[in-house]
Structure 1
């Protein structure tokens, strides 16, 4: 039962405020409505930046010392490590801390496991359990607001860029999925890309159909714009083939010939394409010259032995073998590019790091691996380091979304 002192948050009213606001003002509209509903002293969204190591508070209010500015917008970058923001993003749980004359509430802004950021409210009193649940629901609704609004404005994208992107990175960014994490009942997956100083042409991609998951990880030869353009052609051909209804073998052949027909000799892309049937749990893979994936099963890590075929673009007209991919409920699979294994990352034992990850969410696994390769290379990556973690639960479809 709610008492008279309890907060009342009307999610429907929040969304109505959004509908009446311009896309660029959508988050401010939600923050303003929340301040009114709960008499909050302040309400703000802190969005996760692209480095994975910071959150960014976006505001167009009074000047903020040290913030980046652009056309009246401000982005204040706050390091994550060791902070309550980090704990909220990792655990996906609401955090409440008592202040001298009130309380601060941090709630995860998340959609299907994709950690978009944190909703921060400063309240005049300590919230009840019902209040905390309502704030959590409002934060979840805010995730949809951000997803919808950022289609129409660059403000969120600008805010997430603590470091300016070079042209090659801009091209590469457009090749990655809109969400790096997906919780979908029978599986959870998460991807991450640690870009080298000179972008190395890595990509990962996935799409979910009613009865199938399609996943790819690729690595274009070369660096900078040349590699990014090569990756663009490869990813574009894979998506085009998939959306035309081609099966896995035909997608691989189409991508291979697209490269061979449009690129110079010596330009190629390694990659793995995976199809997973969600009805049967059967998985199939094409391996075009790519680094072998790792599997964590029953506490043991091993490389999955796959036949290695030539990279895409090397042999015009080639047919690729579709291989069965061994997968059992409870498996954790990590697909990776050779940037994870480059010479100046030799001190990184990826298998040992994966073995230590059993209790982590896939989103945390890829962030931990990304951070580990950065530490191993002294933050001087010579090649992109990309990884995708897939947890397969099996069984009937069920809702595990956050």
Structure 2
């Protein structure tokens, strides 16, 4: 069998899910004269790249972070004539981490291209393996999660997604103890469905409420329902369980990937904005009742249009309404400043920039709510 992507993929598919890094490293030792191999996975807050093969080894440094941020290989010739390669581990735009390889082979474009492709095979295998082993979950966390956070993270679709016409990323913070804010997305054919939610209350009860709403909307969506039917099914489910004593503020969006036309159901507090060329404008929608507030609530679709080069941003009230220590709400002016800092960043970097600015705004005051931001770039033309 030739040593190409297909053979590497077959090797990984035949490997137990918790042994992928070791088998992949052994393959590189044998076929590519690798002196050392390390798989570095991003932690939940995307602030650290943590090693898998040697858990006690050093975390990723500036070069690894550069590779993770730029999504481009980093190649360094070694003094002995060999090569040090840092390669992104990414699946459909979802950034998992970085593969670090030290090999005795000389730097060459063909070597970098081949190993970059192999890194993609490993990334796909690691993402799939998450369903069947806890090993990579354990590496990605710096501390123990609360039960609410565990449920919330398992419910998320991913942290970034790329398509021909869009780049999409989402972030949830704080990472290790959350209170019900959430985002969800799915792409099928020429439709991208995106939701941002804020569950009523805090702790485990808020997360269970959000879990019910998200799964109700997924159930409707997977049955072919539009966003009005998704909202109404979720609202009915929440009301049937809580009788109007709990609700879920939700913004549902469905984007036509062929035209950029957006249908929206605004059922609460998340806010949408469009940024372009340094200018930011809020999308004005008629706010309807949060999900589950009353029985038999009915919703209506509103529409707006994405133009080439637009950046769509959606934030939960933990971002725009944050007022630590009685300060003015973050959304009053500081949020716009934070968003402008992201103008030249891809969505996967932009969401982190906004949340870091929000942390700075809180200074030494602990947040009293989750913060969710979702960023979508509508590209000038299909790639």
- Secondary structure of the corresponding residue to residue 302 of structure 1: strand
**RMSD between aligned alpha carbons?**
2.0
Q: 1:381 maps to what in 2?
A: 367
Q: 1:72 maps to what in 2?
A: none
Residue 13 of structure 1: how far off its partner (Å): 3.2
CA gap of 1:205–1:180, structure 2 versus 1, over 3 A, is same
Aligned residue runs from structure 1 range 138-153, under 5 A: 138-153=118-133
The yes-or-no answer on 1:92 pairing with 2:71 is: yes
Q: 1:166 maps to what in 2?
A: 146
The yes-or-no answer on 1:356 pairing with 2:341 is: yes
Aligned residue runs from structure 1 range 158-197, under 5 A: 158-177=138-157, 179-195=158-174
Q: Deviations over 1:21-60 (max 9, x none)?
A: 211112211111011111010112111111100011112x
The yes-or-no answer on 1:37 pairing with 2:23 is: no
| 2:59 aligned residue (74, 78, 99) | 78
CA gap of 1:91–1:199, structure 2 versus 1, over 3 A, is same
The yes-or-no answer on 1:367 pairing with 2:342 is: no
- Aligned-partner Cα distance in 1 for 2:221–2:6: 38
Q: 1:71 maps to what in 2?
A: none
- Secondary structure of the corresponding residue to residue 147 of structure 1: helix
Residue 77 of structure 1: how far off its partner (Å): 6.4
The yes-or-no answer on 1:134 pairing with 2:114 is: yes
Q: 2:40 maps to what in 1?
A: 46
Aligned residue runs from structure 1 range 119-130, under 5 A: 119-130=99-110
CA gap of 1:198–1:183, structure 2 versus 1, over 3 A, is closer
Q: Deviations over 1:253-296 (max 9, x none)?
A: 11111111111543111010001112332111000122321210
8 Å CA contact 2:260–2:305 kept in 1: the answer is no
Aligned residue runs from structure 1 range 311-326, under 5 A: 311-326=290-305
Residue 185 of structure 1: how far off its partner (Å): 0.4
Q: Deviations over 1:131-181 (max 9, x none)?
A: 11112111112111212222211111111111211111111112211x211
Of residues 279-288 and 267-276 in structure 1, the stretch that sits farther from structure 2 once superposed is 279-288
Aligned residue runs from structure 1 range 254-333, under 5 A: 254-333=233-312
Residue 9 of structure 1: how far off its partner (Å): 5.9
Runs of 4+ residues over 3 Å off in structure 1: 345-348
- Secondary structure of the corresponding residue to residue 367 of structure 2: coil
Instruction: Name the count of aligned residue pairs.
Output: 374
Q: 1:225 maps to what in 2?
A: 204
- Aligned-partner Cα distance in 1 for 2:297–2:133: 43
8 Å CA contact 1:282–1:325 kept in 2: the answer is yes
- Secondary structure of the corresponding residue to residue 127 of structure 2: helix
- Aligned-partner Cα distance in 2 for 1:346–1:118: 39
**TM-score, length basis structure 2:** 0.92
Q: 1:204 maps to what in 2?
A: 183
Residue 125 of structure 1: how far off its partner (Å): 4.5
- Aligned-partner Cα distance in 2 for 1:347–1:310: 23
8 Å CA contact 1:51–1:162 kept in 2: the answer is no
Structure 1: gaps spanning 5 or more residues: 1-7, 68-75
